[in-house]
Amino acid sequence: MLEENKFSTLKDILKEMNTVDIAQAISESEPDKQVKIFRLLPKNSSAEVFSYLDSDTQETVINSITNVEIHNLVEDMFIDDAVDFLEEVPANVVTRVLAQTSRETREIINKFLRYPEDSAGSIMTVEMAAFHESLTVDEAINELRRTAQDKESIETCYCIDSQRKLVGLLPLRKLIVAKSGTVLSDIMLSDDRIISVVTHDDQETVAEIVRKYDLLSVPVVDYENRLVGIITIDDIVDVIQEENTEDFEKMALLLPSEDDYLKTGVLKLTRNRIVWLLILMISATFTGQIIEGFEDKLAVISGLTACIPMLMDTSGNSGNQVSTLIIRGLALGTVKPSDYFKVLWKEIRVAVICGIILAAANFVRMLTIRAVTGGETSTPVIFVVCLSMVFTVIIAKSIGCSLPILAKLLHLDPALMAGPMITTIVDAVSLLIYFGTATLFINHGLLPLK
């Protein structure tokens, strides 16, 4: 439609569209059209659409509009969206944008940009409904009717005293059903029922609190308990997804990265991966040395070598199953370090049953293969493999549940610690058990040599 210059039709369509969909459409169109579409937006929705654009498109738009347009845009945006946008674009764009904003807005933005990354302060917004506790219900409602349009969430209002200290919460439903003359301090929720976070709290802590108490927004206070902002749950949802992605990445031996996969360059992707690959390759020296020390015996006993990968994979998988459950449980708070002995006892029992079933299945499997392929694997070798299987599964499951809890106790990140460590330790231990069992059989003359 742009090409056909049907501007007014397009304008009408845009009026009926959801802002998120408009933002997506703009991001997907060609750079020279992006600004044209953006300028057709109704005045009251352009700031919202802008905050949903990806940062490349935001830059393109900013670089093509006038200073007056920039001024209006930034003043119309919620502070948290403006801060998000400024954190992503190059410094020269930031300078130009800040030059066009009012002194007041600029001061707030600068303050926000100074909060540590991933802190409550960096993700909060200042557009909340806050009233002095001495107001009456009518005064509060009138004030709200006057200002509600600019608030990010009004489902809960906040009551403050003369020093701006947070003294109470007031769900909107409670406010609008209250009798006209009532003073807010008589109906607000106070004391222990106020759930709040401090500006320097980590966003992960904030997410836990919001999730635990089922909040739609949480007030942010400074160290003197003065109300400085709120964090709304839609931003918390993004935090939760970020934290989950980080755990996935750590457990898959990647350095965590906040960039989208498709937008990350080859060199950065390589850097995020090579670190753990190198560390684990070098630590594989242990398993290599264990095998080398046993190489002479492997060479004269048929079938022993062929089972190494199967044993190592099975024990690695067993260990990873438990560690994932425990890491996830620790992250969600359903497992606590104090549960350790309960967990260990449970895992040992699970491991014994799993180990026996796997060993039995393996016994049948190896007999079948020998019968079908006419291989030379002797029955005692099969016994060695099955016996080792039971023990390696038990050890793998014990290590798998112990390492994440140990990491948590040492204030290390379970996801980071446990994933990489478990493979290496379990690999080495299962080889030692395997060769130990084989040696025991050899010493008793039970394993026939070639």
Closer of 63 and 289 to a second copy (Cβ): 289
Return the range that interacts with a second copy (CB under 8 A); candidates 102-110, 197-205, 237-245, 405-413.
Answer: 237-245
Binding-site string for a second copy from residue 388 to residue 427, where x marks contact by CB under 8 A and - marks none: -----------------------------------x---x
Quick one: which of 113, 176, 367, 409 contacts a second copy (CB under 8 A)? 176
Contact pattern from residue 424 through residue 443 relative to a second copy, giving x for each residue in contact according to CB under 8 A and a dash for the rest: ---x---x------------
Judged by CB under 8 A, the number of residues near a second copy is: 118
Of residues 93 and 399, the one with the C-beta less far from a second copy: 399
Q: Determine the Cα–Cα distance for residues 35 and 27; give it in Å rounded to an integer.
A: 10
Query: What sign for the dihedral angle of Cα 279, 283, 284, 289?
Result: positive
Nearer residue to a second copy within complex by CB, 20 or 440: 20
Q: Which residues, 6 or more positions from 408, have their beta carbon under 8 angstroms from its beta carbon?
A: 330, 337, 414
Q: Which is nearer to a second copy, 70 or 396 (CB)?
A: 396
Phi, psi of 372 (to 5 degrees): -75, -45
| The dihedral sign for the CA sequence 266, 267, 269, 274 | positive
Q: Which residues pair with 232 in a beta bridge?
A: 217
Shortest spacing between CB 34 and a second copy, in angstroms: 20
Residue of 1, 177, 440, 449 that binds a second copy (CB under 8 A): 177
Site for a second copy in 80-109 (CB under 8 A): none
Q: Which is nearer to a second copy, 97 or 312 (CB)?
A: 312
- Six token digits for residue 450: 């070639």
Whichever of 300 and 440 has its CB closer to a second copy, that residue is 300
Helix 266-283 vs helix 285-293: crossing angle, to nearest 10 = 30
| 292 CB-near residues (< 8 Å, 6+ apart) | none
Site map for a second copy, 361-390, x if CB under 8 A? Answer: xx--x---x---x-x---------------
Residue 44 binds a second copy, judged by CB under 8 A: no
Are 404 and 326 within 8 A, CB to CB?
yes
Q: CB burial class (10 A; 0-12, 13-18, 19+) of residue 189?
A: middle
Of 71, 346, 363, 432, the one binding a second copy (CB under 8 A) is 346
Mapping DSSP onto H, E and C, the string for 85-96 reads: HHHHCCHHHHHH
Shortest reach from residue 362's CB to a second copy, in Å: 6
Per-residue contact string for residues 133-172; x = within reach of a second copy by CB under 8 A? --------x--xxx-xx-x-xxx----------------x
Q: Select 99 or 148, whichever has its Cβ closest to a second copy.
A: 148
Q: Does 320 bind a second copy (CB under 8 A)?
A: yes
291 CB-contact burial (10 Å; exposed 0-12 / middle 13-18 / buried 19+)? middle
Distance CA 313, CA 409 (A): 28
Q: How far is the CB of 380 from a second copy (least distance, A)?
A: 17
Q: Which of residues 258-277 bind a second copy (CB under 8 A)?
A: 260-262, 266-267, 269-270, 273-274, 276-277
Angle at Cα 57 formed by Cα 115 and Cα 40, nearest 5°? 115
Query: In terms of CB distance, is 70 or 418 closer to a second copy?
Result: 418
Other Cβ atoms less than 10 A from the Cβ of 187: the count is 17
Does 240 sit near a second copy (CB under 8 A)? yes
Of 83, 109, 354, 381, which one interacts with a second copy (CB under 8 A)? Answer: 354
Q: Is 216 in the site for a second copy (CB under 8 A)?
A: yes
Q: Which of 33, 334, 379, 440 binds a second copy (CB under 8 A)?
A: 334
* 150 CB-near residues (< 8 Å, 6+ apart): 127
Cβ closest to a second copy, residue 100 vs residue 320: 320
Contacts of 125 (CB under 8 A, 6+ apart): 78, 79, 80, 81, 152, 229, 230, 231, 232
Task: Kindly tell me which of 287 and 439 has the beta carbon lying closer to a second copy.
Answer: 287
The CB-of-221 to a second copy minimum distance in angstroms stands at 16
Rounded Cα distance, 411 and 409, in Å: 5
Task: Compute the least distance from the CB of residue 87 to a second copy, in Å.
Answer: 18
Q: Residues 277 to 316: which contact a second copy by CB under 8 A?
A: 277-278, 280-282, 284-285, 287-289, 291-292, 295, 298-300, 302-303, 305-310, 312-314
Rounded CA-CA distance 294/181 in Å is 88
Nearer to a second copy, 99 or 332 (CB): 332
Report d(CA 148, CA 128) in Å as an integer: 9
The tokens for 57 are: 């498109």
